[in-house]
Structure 1
């Protein structure tokens, strides 16, 4: 028993596709930690546990359901950390966060949902600070590459004495992977919310909607979520390419700006952050990027209206079930480059890459290492509690852990 809790890490949603991948990663980690598998079905949990063999055969199983708050409280109170793999989080996440915040239990998830995180901040930040819990959202492909590359750039600039970060742009250079059923369900839920809830639309219009103190944020003018830019406007190294908006920028940019504020604007008060996607250099790349941006805007703002025109229940029947995935779980790759110019004019680039599917096996590594960082490296973590981000909760520790887990990470000065 460690830290007064009988379980080191509980994976809630362990029978889902990504939950099983994370459990498998932790089973292979060789840490000797006690891992519990949690969900609604004893039979399905037993089947997942038996698939790992070895020490995992002794892992405890926990029956827990978001519709039974007492089961969530019991799960949280016996665990040092709960890894929540049950989405869509806007629908299912708040009671899990509340249980962990109340029990002083650390928590991580894989969310990329602005409304859920805003609700988590409003309802659980204060409680988690009081109990000493770290509630760390977005510990998968969303949003560790975004959050950690910017954090690394800031650390490098500070070490070199070259000022704070100014114009900073993430570029998704390469991506190959699939989408889990839970991810599709999340997108459908968000389209419905955006079309019917004026407050959600306001959050998506506000670049600082996840800020701990909105009034304290700098006024940098209009900040575009879905830019259409020639590569050379970002960095000379990208000359000849066109970039478009990146759909996850609607969440990731707000997560990164929250990190800056939680760390007392360590990136700078003139930090201006954008995320983009490489479209290519082919004729018509600019037009393709413009159409891509228009499609994202239409889907995010008006998709819910179109969904309501369809027969009742049809969309839910067509949407892959949450917890399902495909064989892309063992394939795929990504490469992210983040470019920054400091207030003294120095340029830097941070790169993160994995030879794994971003939504599946890559996320399992990122989430698994986040959980291990919070449990095994507590003495090295910043003294911050409440609703945090990966960078503000685990920045240096994750930068140290990820390369040993097969994640390529590099920060370089550019001419």
Structure 2
């Protein structure tokens, strides 16, 4: 379809959900007035409610009814817009028909998934089609996994510019303050259920190169474990397993492979959560490790999963405004290049990372796809934030108040 035949520049699908509302609010405040935006979801009544609550910039946006269980409605929606951004998860349950519709229509797509199995399935079903139609299918455009992906992108580029060779050992230490996400919990639950339905897929989840475009071409490089016990860094900081590491690390490795291993064939990349120094840091690390193990174990059994459902946040819910406003994230990524030189990248921002900060990340990613096409890398297919938008997205996020820095150390 010709670009001038599209009715909209950007559609927010799932606008009535918790994150969808935050994203719509961000775009209403920050999108240029000339961009044609629509809100999409199953209920027109609820869409009208969302629109009435928006800042003035979004109160005349169009409304479109669409349902992930109705392929015809998704085909119509994808064909009507240049960019579709979706917050409808868990993506393993609801996402594949949306990706398929966008790939077929040549519509650029962005989501917030943190689900390895969903991304693997989307690659297998839609990558080739999207390459033919020119669609950029960009997964992981929120706190999963933009800070990780762009930090390593900047590190790799700096090491290459300095003639230091590829990256060798890279570790991200995350620190954050924020609330619990009902959507994230539901995504974890959906992945556990998928593994129980098909135990053979455990090999996919456990493979550090599960999202590689060419698994056989990946180097035989031992990767850091995604889960483990509390540990201490050489400078005395305590760390715990990072719940997002099993997804983020695979996105970063896919970015490396999609760029012909531009970060280095011997890249070893891992992520942990920083918990501080001294006895308090050690106790916090132990508590996080035990809590994460207990949650995953409880989700694996139907009776305990039912008990968790009573106490964990429900899908479509999230923290209150005070928590969202007072949250923050800071990710420090240390890297050693092949010639021994060391670099450090920092990604940071204000606001609850899974909500307020994610609305900024997803909003700017959507605007980059809609407005900056002539400056984006010449790629199509199943992509990552770094390979689809790279420096353009870094510039947008810096302008939005987030920090992305890299320096030799």
Q: What is the TM-score with the length of structure 2 in the denominator?
A: 0.94
Question: Is contact 1:12-1:83 (8 Å) kept?
Answer: yes
Match of 2:144 in 1: 142
Aligned to 2:242: 246
Structure 1 contact 14–38 (Cα < 8 Å) conserved? yes
Deviations 1:343-386 (A, max 9, x none): 00110011011111101010000000001111111011111111
**How far apart are residue 51 of structure 1 and its match?**
1.2
Trace 1:374-389 onto structure 2 (pairs within 5 A): 374-389=369-384
Maintained 8 Å contact 1:3/1:80? no
Q: Which residue of 1 aligns with 2:338?
A: 343
Q: Distance in 2 between matches of 1:167 and 1:314?
A: 41
Q: Which residue of 2 aligns with 1:235?
A: none
CA separation in 1, counterparts of 2:352 and 2:95? 24
**Residue 181 (structure 1) shift:** 1.9
- 2:316 aligns with 323
- Kindly state the Cα deviation for residue 131 of structure 1 after the two structures are TM-superposed: 0.7
TM-fit CA distance, 1:40:
0.8
Aligned-partner Cα distance in 2 for 1:399–1:183: 25
Deviation, structure 1 residue 316: 4.9
CA displacement at 1:195 relative to structure 2: 4.0
Q: Is the 8 A contact 1:15 1:323 kept in 2?
A: no
Number of residues of Structure 1 aligned to a counterpart in Structure 2: 404
> For residues 141-180 of structure 1, what are the structure 2 equivalents within 5 Å?
141-172=143-174, 174-180=175-181
Deviation at 1:279, TM superposition (A): 2.0
Name the CA distance, whole Å, in 1 between partners of 2:310 and 2:77. 31
Once the two structures are TM-superposed, the CA of residue 191 in structure 1 deviates from its matched residue by: 2.6
Q: Report the Cα offset of residue 290 of structure 1.
A: 5.1
Any conservation in 1 of the 2:180–2:313 contact (CA below 8 Å)? no
**SS state at 1:384 partner:** coil
Q: CA deviation at 1:297?
A: 4.5
| Separation in 2, partners of 1:258, 1:30 | 30
In the alignment, structure 1 segments of 5+ residues that lack a partner are 233-238
- What secondary structure is seen at the aligned counterpart in 1 of 2:5? coil
- Tell me the equivalent position of 1:271: 267
Give the SS at the match of 1:321: coil
Q: Name the residue aligned to 1:236.
A: none
Q: CA deviation at 1:28?
A: 0.7
Matched, 1:101 2:103: yes
Corresponding residue number in structure 1 for 2:50: 48
Alignment correspondent of 1:309: 303
Shift of 1:194: 3.2
Structure 1 partner of 2:204:
203
Q: Equivalent residue for 1:219?
A: 220
Distance (whole Å) between structure 1 residues aligned to residue 371 and residue 116 of structure 2:
29
Q: Give 1:262 shift.
A: 0.5
Distance apart, 1:396 and its partner CA: 1.1
| Deviations, residues 61-115 of structure 1 (Å, cap 9, x unaligned) | 0101111111111110001111010111111111110110111000000000001
- Aligned residue for 1:124, secondary structure, equals helix
Per mean C-alpha deviation after superposition, the further-off stretch among 279-288 and 7-16 is 279-288
Distance in 1 (alpha carbons) for counterparts of 2:71 and 2:197:
28
Deviations 1:246-268 (A, max 9, x none): 11001000010000001110001
State how far apart, in whole Å, the 1-side matches of 2:67 and 2:299 are.
28
Alpha-carbon distance in 1 for matches of 2:217, 2:291 = 33
Tell me, in whole angstroms, the C-alpha distance in 2 between the residues paired with 1:201 and 1:381: 35
Does 2:355 align with 1:360?
yes
Bigger shift: 46-55 or 362-371? 46-55
Equivalent in the alignment of 2:278: 282
Which stretches in structure 2 are left out of the alignment for 5+ residues? none
Q: 1:332 to 1:222 in 2, by over 3 A?
A: closer
CA drift at 1:2? 5.8
